[in-house]
Structures are given as structure tokens and as C-alpha cells.
């Protein structure tokens, strides 16, 4: 009888093949019951017995063939495995079993299959090592449980007709148990008891060694309806019990596939079963994980792509198609460089080098090219893909389209810059209002009242713009707030269509209407009970749309034209110039009349020929001495009227002659081409329009200039970012400093970054 003994290294004994008794090896009939490729060899390595499955696997009959001539083995990495390192050779040398060796079998026809190999030593009754039993199974094979199995006339396993039966089954490292025709368990090897977590009572327990069984869906299953019982009754196995879940005594569960062979007596009646339990718990879990992963990859809005280490696309999900526009058939097998911009190809080589070192690349922001040629901003995460030996064999890429995020960030960046610019512009306006009000105020009390009213007008208009999300402000509402008298009381009349003014024109119109209203309340029609005010406006649609507004006072004190222009009058006339607008004040005997013309689209007006723009004559101030004894002439380009007036006052105090101020691109170019000046102070943003053209014209004429801006230096035109910068709000000292800087003798051009 064969005994599975644990022994040490045995000295190899040469036995002539003819002297080995057949009884020491299992019979071919027994081996054919097993769903594995099995063969037995003697101590010399000659194959003595084998089963039908081995013949099918090898493709020929290996009778009396030395095992190293029957096939070739390779390691999982594909390297050739010398025959002396094969598991069977190790067992024949040492007498120690080898379990679960993962190899690649190369058959004589050159085809290969991945296998799991188990080898057990065979000893005679005296404990001498006399051979080995090798069994292997393809790791890609799924058992066909519906396949009719050949009948085996063998006799009941519990009889002594084959004395080696149980010894051979005990030797095999696969879980095996046997039953009689009534389903009583007659044998259960060690591997089966370990798998099932219990030792069944032989001759009493029936159908299965597990304590309890469930179908493949996890539903309770009576053992009488399980795979063994149905096989004995020769009933087909439903899909839900081709795999079953067995519960052990400790409550743990194992998913198994049962491979059942029927045994028959000499009268061709079923007298038992031989059952092999294949543990498929891990493969099932891997299948579930793979299915979950496939569902995630398929439904992901991100592009999930795998590629080889030479950059060839291997998988391409629906998210990749959505982002890049290519179908899987267009990309699989193609180089990933197909979607990489030419100037970024170095990124791919860098990524591949890092992957080969096993590194992971996280949240790498870059650009890729879609099928339609557009550039796509993406965030890229790349992970190495490894085989079971830890070798990097490829890469998995997850690409997220961040184009919208990038656009939002750019919008946010522009908004923050614009907010900063507007805040500083507003502060500069407030500073200018304070300076100009203080220049003309006859007492601190008069300054406080006038300045507070002007700041309040500015603040209320900002509130109004905020209500409209800075899309503009309604002209009628501005009038109501500035006049501060109820409409319809017989004294005040408003008449005109709905007009939504853009933000900057709205602020300037509010300042103009405030000055008119303040003058009317203090000195004009609204200063007496019988005074009347009518404000009427229409929209002119010929050419560029314009608002034509007429402010007409009647019934007030006698009016005469002032002998000198105050700040309010100058502010009215200058405020609308930034938008190509005009304000004409008339001092009729019956009251003040102001006619205002304001284009609704400043951009459309700027597209007109410069010759059609109003001519602006240089303002001559008191001269100051330069090196040549002549007064310094300064071009002022600024769209905020209050700031321009304050700047003019500061320059006048320095003895400069003012050219301008110009409030638009057209006015600035007109002055550059027609007037003479020595230096220029240039607002870096004229009502939203870039000023690179003005800066270029000044540079071409060799005229030094400095920027005035609420923006930082990084927002200046790139070609002129070395020009001096005066930040708004500015002081008299800062204006003095920049004028001195621009007039200081220098070598070369200081305004243009060449």
C-alpha cells in the first residue's frame, strides 16, 4: 500500500523499469477519474502511468517517456526552466512535496499554457522513495460541468478491489471525497477536510463534507438537491449550482466548483462518485472586482487609458472618446503621441522614464489635442501597471478635462484684477473729488458739504450698479436719486424711454446729474418754491445709437453765465468725454439748460474715423523752465474726468503746459498726430480698451511716457512693461517724481522694452 510519508532526502536508487511492480502505481482507470492532468513516474523519471486528460493536454501518448522529453517548462517570466529545477526533479531528489508552483507548459507543438503544478512523492511499504506523482491544471481552464464523463467500471471505493485507491487520493494535493450510491461519504482526503473546515463522519454524513451549502447566489440549498445528489440521479446541473458556497464549522464560507465522476459496478450500475472540489473563491472575487472596475471605467466621465511601455494604446474607454473625440477602434494599437501636441512630446518621454522606475505621476496639468484639433486642458494621473512579479509592463492613465475649470479660473483672475483696478480707480476718483473740492471751497464747512454730496452720489450709483450685477444702471433711477425731489408734484418732470447705461457711463452720468441737481437746488430752479425742472430724453438710432438728454430749468432766480468756471462746470463738460459724449451748458434768462449727448456703445463710436471725432485743443498753462528755457508740455490720457482734472491741477502747479486731456483712443491718437508735447502720462486702460497702439506711437516718436493704472505692473502691455508706473490713487509727490524721471537725460529709450 502506498503511504504519504514525510521523509528526508533519499539517496537515488536505480531500479530497472521491468523490476518495478505495477501495483505500486495507481491504475490508469483511477487516474482517469480525476479532472486534472496526472502522471506517475519512477525514480528514474520515466512516465509509468498517466490519465486521459494528460494525453489531451500534451496531444500525444507519453508512455515510457522520460518526463523532460514529454514537454518543456518555463518560469512565469518566460525564461527557460532547466529540467533539474522542475518540481518533479526536486521531489525525486528530496522526497519532499512541491505545491502550487506557477509555471508555463510548452508542448511539443510549441503552444504554451499557464499551469499550477503539484507534485507528491511515492513511497513503497518500506518507506523508500520510488517515484513521484505530478498533477497540473491550466489556470485558464473552466471545467465543463455538463460534459458527459466516461463510465468507469471500478467497483465501490470502499472495497479492496484497488488497495491503492485511497492512498493515491490522500497523496493528491487537491480536495477529493468519495461517496457510495446512496450519497454516504466514504472517503475525504486531508486537502478536502482543510478546505471544508471539518472532518465528516464517514459512512454517515452524506452528499458533501461542508456543514451547510448554498447555491451560487447565496441562497440556502438542501444537500439532497446539490451537485452530488443530482449527478447520482443523472440530472443536469442548473446554472445556480454549477458553483456552490460551502459553510465551515467556524462560519466561514468557500465558493467551490464540483467536478464529479460517477463509478459503476460490473453490471453498469452507479455505485458511487469521486468528487474534486475546486476552490474558486479567489477567482470569483477577482471576477467581481474586475466587473466592478469595468463598470466604473465604462461609466467614468474621465478618460481612462492603458498603454504599453512604448506608448501604444491598449484600452480606450467611453470617457476618452467623449473628451478627445476618437473611437476605441481609432486609438487602440496607435501611439498615444497622436493626442499630444508636438511641443509637449518631451512630457511623454519623461512620463515613460518615470514609469519604468515605478513612479506614479499625480495631477499633472497639461494639454492634449482632440480629434477636431482643439486644445484640451487636462489633469493627468499616470500609474505603472505591474505583473505578478512586480515588473512594470505598462501604464494606466486617467485624464480629466479641466477646460471649464481653467476658463473659470481665468475669469476669476480677470475679475479680481478688474475689481482691484476699479477699486483703485474709484479711490483715485474720490481723491480727485476731494482735491478739486478743496481747491474751490471757501470754508471747511463748504468743503465738507460739497465733498460729502459728491461721494454720496458716487456711492448710490455703485449700489444701483450692484443691483444689476454691474451690467449697468437705469437712467430714470439715476435721475430720481440725483434730483431728490418727488416726480409728479408739479415741479419735476421726467420723460423718456427705458435706457440701461453701461457701468462706466452710468457713473459719469450720475456725477454730471449730481452737479446739475446740486446747482439747481442751491442757485437754480429748485432753490425756490415756484421753480420747475423738466428732464426729457430720446434715443437717436441713426448711425451709432445715442441718448440725447435735455435738462431744462424754469421759474428760478435770474441766470447769468458765470465769469469763471468752477469744478462742477468742468466736471460736467469733461465727464462724458471718455465715452465720446458731450455736455453743452446754456445760461438762458429763464433758467439753466444742459444738452447731453451720450453714445450707447462707446466701442462702436471708437470704430469711426478719427477725423469725425471732436477736435480737442491743447490747454495752455503757465510755463515752467526746462533746460532750454521752455515750459514742459505734457500729454494727459485719462478716461476718468475727476482723475484727469486732478492730474491737470497737479501738473499746472508744476508749471507744465497740458495737452489734452484725451479720454479715448481716438482723441489720444488725434493729439499725438497733431499736437506737440515732451512727455506723456497714459492711463493703462481706457474704458476697457488696450493702449498698446498709443504706447507704440509714443515710442516711435521717441516721447518718454509713464503709465497710470490701478492694475499691477504684470498687467501692463508686455512690450512696455519697463515703462514707469504711477499707481492709482496717486499723490502730488508721485506725479512730481514721475515727471522728473521722464525728463531726466538717459541713454537710449527708457519707455520701450526692446
Say if residue 468 is in the same domain as residue 593: yes
Say if residue 454 is in the same domain as residue 602: yes
Is residue 386 situated within a structural domain? yes
Is residue 74 situated within a structural domain? yes
3-state SS of 208-259 is CCCCEEECCCCCEECHHHCHHHHHHCCCCCCHHHCEEEEECCCCCEEEEEEE
Tens digits of residue pLDDT in 646-667: 888 888 888 899 998 888 888 8
Q: Which residue has the cell 473740492?
A: 437
Say if residue 567 is in the same domain as residue 678: no
Tens digits of residue pLDDT in 547-594: 999 999 999 888 888 776 677 777 787 778 778 888 898 988 889 999
Tell me the average pLDDT across 161-175. 64
Higher pLDDT pick, 522 / 8: 522
Distance CA 617, CA 597 (A): 20
Tell me the average pLDDT across 745-751. 46
Contact 187, 263 (CB under 8 A): no
Higher pLDDT pick, 728 / 204: 204
Give the pLDDT band of residue 213 (cuts 50, 70, 90): very high
Highest mean pLDDT pick, 110-114, 190-194, 297-301: 190-194
Is a pLDDT exceeding 50 seen at residue 9? no
Residue 518's nearest CA partner among 465, 569, 573 is: 569
Say if residue 454 is in the same domain as residue 598: yes
Q: Which residue has the cell 482507470?
A: 29
Tens digits of residue pLDDT in 257-315: 888 888 877 777 888 888 888 888 888 887 888 778 777 887 788 888 988 888 899 99
Is residue 576 situated within a structural domain? yes
Tell me the average pLDDT across 715-738. 82
Q: What is the pLDDT of residue 151?
A: 43
Distance CA 48, CA 134 (A): 12
Residue 178's nearest CA partner among 146, 211, 200 is: 200
Q: What is the pLDDT of residue 437?
A: 76
Tens digits of residue pLDDT in 436-449: 778 777 788 878 87
Contact 105, 97 (CB under 8 A): no
- DSSP symbol at 343: G
Q: What is the mean pLDDT of the chain?
A: 79
Contact 341, 367 (CB under 8 A): yes
Is a pLDDT exceeding 80 seen at residue 225? yes
The residues, any chain, with a CB within 8 Å of residue 515's CB and separated by 6 or more, are 568, 569, 571, 572
Tell me the average pLDDT across 524-553. 90
Q: Which residue has the cell 471732436?
A: 614
The CATH number assigned to the domain holding 723 equals: 3.40.50.2300
Say if residue 650 is in the same domain as residue 719: yes
Tens digits of residue pLDDT in 347-369: 888 888 888 888 888 888 888 99
Is a pLDDT exceeding 50 seen at residue 13? no
Is a pLDDT exceeding 70 seen at residue 146? no
Which residues, listed in sequence order, are joined to residue 658 by a DSSP beta bridge? 619, 634
Q: What is the pLDDT of residue 609?
A: 33
Distance CA 303, CA 321 (A): 8
Tens digits of residue pLDDT in 232-257: 888 888 888 888 999 988 889 999 98
Residue range(s) defining the domain that contains residue 696 = 615-743
Say if residue 711 is in the same domain as residue 656: yes
Higher pLDDT pick, 684 / 426: 684
Give the residue from 351, 374, 401 where a domain finishes: 401
Give the residue from 285, 318, 351 where a domain finishes: 285
Q: What is the pLDDT of residue 471?
A: 75
Tens digits of residue pLDDT in 386-403: 877 778 888 888 888 888
Tens digits of residue pLDDT in 59-82: 888 878 888 888 888 887 778 888
Contact 672, 632 (CB under 8 A): no
Say if residue 274 is in the same domain as residue 332: no
Q: What is the pLDDT of residue 327?
A: 93
Is residue 293 situated within a structural domain? no
Q: Which range is least confidently modeled, 170-184, 379-393, 406-420, 528-542?
A: 406-420
Tell me the average pLDDT across 196-211. 90
Give the pLDDT band of residue 486 (cuts 50, 70, 90): low
Say if residue 722 is in the same domain as residue 626: yes
Distance CA 646, CA 729 (A): 11
Distance CA 484, CA 135 (A): 103
Is residue 113 situated within a structural domain? yes
The CATH number assigned to the domain holding 604 equals: 3.30.565.10
Tell me the average pLDDT across 309-323. 90
Give the pLDDT band of residue 617 (cuts 50, 70, 90): very low
Tell me the average pLDDT across 321-339. 91
Q: What is the pLDDT of residue 2?
A: 31
Is residue 480 situated within a structural domain? yes
Contact 272, 181 (CB under 8 A): yes
Say if residue 329 is in the same domain as residue 372: yes
Q: How many domains does the chain have?
A: 5
Is residue 434 situated within a structural domain? no
Q: What is the pLDDT of residue 489?
A: 65
Counting residues of the chain whose pLDDT is more than 90, the rounded percentage is: 16
Say if residue 603 is in the same domain as residue 619: no
The CATH number assigned to the domain holding 375 equals: 3.30.450.20
Say if residue 466 is in the same domain as residue 586: yes
Higher pLDDT pick, 166 / 545: 545
Contact 150, 32 (CB under 8 A): yes
Give the residue from 590, 608, 626 where a domain finishes: 608
Q: What is the pLDDT of residue 145?
A: 41
Tens digits of residue pLDDT in 620-632: 333 344 555 578 9
Say if residue 255 is in the same domain as residue 326: no
Torsion 410-412-418-420 (CA) sign:
negative
Is residue 247 situated within a structural domain? yes
Amino acid at each position: 500500500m502506498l503511504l504519504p510519508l514525510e521523509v528526508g532526502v533519499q539517496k537515488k536508487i536505480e531500479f530497472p523499469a521491468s523490476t518495478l511492480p505495477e501495483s505500486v502505481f495507481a491504475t490508469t482507470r483511477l487516474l482517469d477519474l480525476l479532472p486534472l492532468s496526472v502522471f506517475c513516474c519512477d525514480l528514474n523519471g520515466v512516465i509509468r502511468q498517466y490519465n486521459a486528460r494528460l494525453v489531451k493536454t500534451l496531444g500525444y501518448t507519453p508512455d515510457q517517456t522520460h518526463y523532460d522529453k514529454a514537454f518543456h517548462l518555463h518560469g512565469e517570466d518566460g525564461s527557460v526552466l532547466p529540467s533539474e529545477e522542475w518540481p518533479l526533479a526536486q521531489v525525486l531528489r528530496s522526497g519532499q512535496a512541491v505545491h502550487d508552483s506557477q509555471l508555463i507548459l510548452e508542448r511539443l507543438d510549441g503552444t504554451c499554457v499557464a499551469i499550477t503544478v503539484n507534485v507528491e512523492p511515492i513511497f513503497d511499504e518500506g518507506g523508500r522513495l520510488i517515484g513521484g506523482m505530478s498533477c497540473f491544471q491550466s489556470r485558464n481552464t473552466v471545467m465543463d460541468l455538463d460534459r458527459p464523463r466516461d463510465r468507469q467500471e471500478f467497483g465501490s471505493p470502499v472495497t479492496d478491489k484497488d488497495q491503492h485507491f485511497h492512498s493515491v487520493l490522500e497523496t493528491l494535493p487537491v480536495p477529493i471525497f468519495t461517496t457510495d450510491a446512496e450519497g454516504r461519504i466514504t472517503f475525504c482526503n486531508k486537502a478536502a477536510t482543510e478546505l471544508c473546515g471539518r472532518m465528516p463522519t464517514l459512512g454517515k454524513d452524506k452528499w458533501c463534507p461542508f456543514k451547510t451549502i448554498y447555491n451560487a447566489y447565496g441562497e440556502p440549498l438542501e444537500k439532497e438537491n446539490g451537485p452530488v445528489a443530482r449527478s447520482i440521479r443523472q440530472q443536469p446541473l442548473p446554472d445556480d449550482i454549477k458553483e456552490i458556497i460551502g459553510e465551515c464549522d467556524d462560519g466561514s464560507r468557500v465558493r467551490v466548483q464540483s467536478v464529479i465522476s460517477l463509478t459503476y459496478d460490473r453490471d453498469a450500475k452507479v455505485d458511487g462518485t469521486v468528487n474534486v472540489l475546486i476552490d474558486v473563491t479567489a477567482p470569483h472575487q477577482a471576477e467581481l472586482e474586475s466587473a466592478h472596475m469595468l463598470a466604473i471605467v465604462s461609466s467614468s466621465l474621465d478618460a481612462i487609458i492603458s498603454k504599453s511601455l512604448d506608448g501604444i494604446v491598449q484600452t480606450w474607454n467611453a470617457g476618452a472618446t467623449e473628451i478627445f473625440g476618437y473611437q476605441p477602434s481609432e486609438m487602440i494599437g496607435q501611439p498615444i503621441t497622436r493626442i499630444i501636441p508636438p511641443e509637449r512630446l518631451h512630457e511623454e518621454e519623461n512620463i515613460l522614464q518615470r514609469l519604468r522606475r515605478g513612479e506614479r505621476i499625480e495631477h499633472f496639468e497639461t494639454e492634449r489635442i482632440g480629434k477636431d484639433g482643439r486644445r484640451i486642458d487636462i489633469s493627468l494621473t499616470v500609474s505603472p501597471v505591474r505583473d505578478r512579479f512586480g515588473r512594470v509592463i505598462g501604464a494606466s492613465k486617467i485624464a480629466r478635462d479641466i477646460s471649464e475649470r481653467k476658463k473659470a479660473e481665468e475669469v476669476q483672475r480677470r475679475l479680481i484684477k478688474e475689481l482691484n483696478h476699479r477699486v483703485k480707480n474709484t479711490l483715485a476718483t474720490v481723491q480727485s473729488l476731494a482735491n478739486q473740492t478743496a481747491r474751490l471751497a471757501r470754508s471747511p464747512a463748504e468743503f465738507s458739504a460739497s465733498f460729502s454730496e459728491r461721494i454720496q452720489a458716487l456711492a448710490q450709483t455703485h449700489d444701483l450698479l450692484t443691483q444689476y450685477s454691474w451690467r449697468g444702471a437705469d437712467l430714470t433711477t439715476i435721475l430720481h436719486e440725483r434730483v431728490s425731489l418727488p416726480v409728479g408734484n408739479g415741479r419735476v418732470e421726467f420723460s423718456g424711454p427705458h435706457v440701461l447705461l453701461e457701468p462706466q457711463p452710468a457713473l459719469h452720468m450720475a456725477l454730471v446729474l449730481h452737479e446739475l441737481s446740486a446747482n439747481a437746488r442751491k442757485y437754480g430752479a429748485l432753490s425756490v418754491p415756484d421753480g420747475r425742472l423738466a428732464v426729457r430724453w430720446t434715443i437717436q438710432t441713426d448711425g451709432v445709437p445715442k441718448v440725447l438728454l435735455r435738462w431744462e430749468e424754469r421759474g428760478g432766480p435770474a441766470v447769468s453765465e458765470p465769469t469763471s468756471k468752477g469744478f462742477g462746470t468742468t466736471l460736467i463738460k469733461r465727464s462724458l468725454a471718455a465715452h465720446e459724449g458731450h455736455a453743452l451748458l446754456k445760461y438762458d434768462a429763464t433758467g439753466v439748460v444742459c444738452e447731453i449727448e451720450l453714445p450707447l456703445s462707446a466701442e462702436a463710436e471708437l470704430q469711426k474715423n478719427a477725423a469725425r471725432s471732436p477736435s480737442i485743443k491743447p490747454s495752455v498753462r503757465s510755463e515752467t523752465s526746462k533746460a532750454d528755457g521752455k515750459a514742459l508740455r505734457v500729454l494727459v490720457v485719462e478716461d476718468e474726468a475727476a482723475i484727469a482734472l486732478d492730474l491737470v491741477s497737479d501738473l499746472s502747479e508744476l508749471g507744465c503746459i497740458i495737452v489734452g486731456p484725451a479720454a479715448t483712443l481716438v482723441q489720444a491718437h488725434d493729439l499725438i498726430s497733431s499736437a506737440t508735447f515732451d512727455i506723456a502720462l497714459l492711463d493703462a486702460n481706457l474704458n476697457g480698451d488696450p493702449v498698446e497702439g498709443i504706447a507704440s506711437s509714443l515710442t516711435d516718436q521717441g516721447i518718454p511716457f509713464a503709465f497710470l493704472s490701478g492694475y499691477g505692473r504684470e498687467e501692463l502691455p508686455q512690450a512696455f512693461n519697463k515703462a514707469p508706473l504711477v499707481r492709482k490713487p496717486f499723490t502730488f509727490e508721485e506725479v512730481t517724481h514721475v515727471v522728473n524721471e521722464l525728463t531726466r537725460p538717459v541713454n537710449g529709450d527708457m519707455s520701450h522694452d526692446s
